[in-house]
Amino acid sequence: MERLDFDDFKYNATEGTIHLARYLNAKPYVYGKRVLDAACGEGYGTRLMYNWGASSVVGVDISEVAIDKATKIFGTENVSYMRHNVEELPFPDNSFDVVVSLETIEHLDEPAKFLTELHRVLKKGGTAIISCPNDNYYVQNIPDYTNIYHKKRYSWTEFKQLVETEFGKASHWFMGNSLSGYINLPLSKCNEPETAPKSPENMQCIMQAQSLSEIELIPQDEYVNHWVSVYYVGVWTREDTKRDDESAAVYPVPTFSLHHDKVVPDVNPYSMIKELTEKEQIVRDELCLVQKQMNDLSTHNISLTEEHSQLKEAHRVMTNERDRLKGMNDMLAEENLMLSNRVEQLTAEKNDLINSSVSNENRIHEIEASQEYRFGLRCRPFLKIFSKPLLFVLHILRKMRNIIRKFVH
């Protein structure tokens, strides 16, 4: 299971122990410390570390849904959660005494960048606890299995080399393995026949885990190493560097139903994984379809962008043409104003010329009248003398004209 769901998922003790066991690696180091839980999921581990004595714990996760649930269920004054990408942590350098990140690195495209960020926010001399699942062992009997949430499968050697490149040689390495054995369970913690057994409603009950007082580890009769481990945990610390103690999260079961959960009996993990694989393939197909739609939208967006650029260029050309025409219109307006002024000037000159011409004509008439009058005065005595002879001559000329006309006809 990628992460525990504290709302919908029914209680499963096996899942509860594997998640709790990983966080137990941090328990010896968090007391009185400021702790970062990077990729905290729904925040149960963040709250557990505060319960184990941390002064304050900050959980960071990319999922808004997970952060909302974590804040609602586990948030307190000294336990806070924020949504953020763990590859770009929003904290100053040297912010935390302890950084914890469990089962995160296999989900990331840039694991080295993530490790650098963890190292950056960790105080000098602080403690780092980082884990990774052994996917190669998990699904060794399922051919062609792919976890769509995991970017890479890491062997312990690969994981060790990657993390130690950033943090240096680890102080401790722990391998996550299943546990088999017997427990002396106090009667007070048993479900007696007269008391109807009541299964926990959901995964929140792992917060009620109790420390056991006495556990004896005997030698195993089968080989156990990193090849057959479920996960690997590295610890980088300057505190208690000789620590090499085991830690375990266990739950009691009826003797002949080992590894079978009471709420989910007779579960075949391989059939579950096969079913999950089929569901993941459906999701993968849907993701491919969505990706194709996104590519189509991207192509359409490119086309729209090009069209927008063309329209923008056309708008620029039209704006320049408009400005040019406006400039020409302003020039023509100025010329029209100048012509109007010139017309007015010429009209005024014309009127002046007309007035001057009229004045001149009047003057000429006056002069002519004056000359005729003076001529008349001078010729009057002669007219009195020659008027009668002239009239007689005119009379003779008229008669001669008449005679000539008759003769011609």
Q: Report the Cα 271 to chain-centroid distance in Å.
A: 39
Contact between 121 and 36 under an 8 Å Cβ cutoff? The reply is yes
Token pair for 263: 């709420």
Taking the C-alpha atoms of residue 160 and residue 130, their distance in angstroms, rounded to an integer, is 10
- Judge whether residue 124 has pLDDT over 90: yes
- Ramachandran sector of residue 320 (left: φ over 0; alpha: ψ -120 to 50; beta: rest): alpha
For residue 38, report the phi and psi dihedrals to the nearest 5 degrees: -85, 125
Per the model's pLDDT, the better-predicted residue between 379 and 308 turns out to be 308
What kind and span of H or E run contains 130? strand 122-133
Q: Compute how many other C-beta atoms are within 10 angstroms of the C-beta atom of residue 57.
A: 30
- Judge whether residue 245 has pLDDT over 80: no
Inter-axis angle of helices 44-51 and 64-74, to 10 degrees?
A: 30
Query: To 10 degrees, the CA torsion angle through 383, 389, 395, 400?
Result: -130
Contact between 12 and 261 under an 8 Å Cβ cutoff? The reply is yes
**Paired strand residues for 76:** 79
Taking the C-alpha atoms of residue 295 and residue 291, their distance in angstroms, rounded to an integer, is 6
- Judge whether residue 130 has pLDDT over 90: yes
Token pair for 179: 């546990």
Q: Of 40, 143, 48, which Cα lies nearest the Cα of 99? A: 40
**Paired strand residues for 176:** 231
Taking the C-alpha atoms of residue 160 and residue 407, their distance in angstroms, rounded to an integer, is 158
- Convert the pLDDT of each residue in 10-20 to its tens digit: 667 777 788 88
Token pair for 83: 């949504």
- Judge whether residue 29 has pLDDT over 90: yes
- In this predicted structure, what is the pLDDT of residue 261? 42
Q: Span 221-236, mean pLDDT? A: 74
Q: Span 351-369, mean pLDDT? A: 81
The side-by-side arrangement of strands in the sheet containing 34-38 is: 79-83, 56-61, 34-38, 96-101, 122-133, 231-236, 172-176
Q: Where are the beta strands (DSSP E) in 263-404?
A: none
Taking the C-alpha atoms of residue 212 and residue 251, their distance in angstroms, rounded to an integer, is 11
- Judge whether residue 267 has pLDDT over 50: no
Coil, strand, or helix at residue 56?
Answer: strand
Rg (CA), the chain: 56
Of the pLDDT bands very low, low, confident and very high (cuts 50, 70, 90), residue 47 is very high
Q: Span 177-203, mean pLDDT? A: 64
Query: Which of 209-213, 246-250, 279-283 reaches the highest mean pLDDT?
Result: 279-283
- In this predicted structure, what is the pLDDT of residue 30? 94
Taking the C-alpha atoms of residue 271 and residue 259, their distance in angstroms, rounded to an integer, is 15
- In this predicted structure, what is the pLDDT of residue 263? 41
Q: Span 359-385, mean pLDDT? A: 71
- Convert the pLDDT of each residue in 51-87 to its tens digit: 999 999 999 999 999 999 999 989 999 999 999 999 9
Rounded to two decimals, what is the model's pTM? 0.59
Residues 6 or more apart whose CB falls under 8 angstroms from that of 195 comprise none
- In this predicted structure, what is the pLDDT of residue 178? 77
Which range is least confidently modeled, 129-143, 161-175, 275-289?
A: 129-143
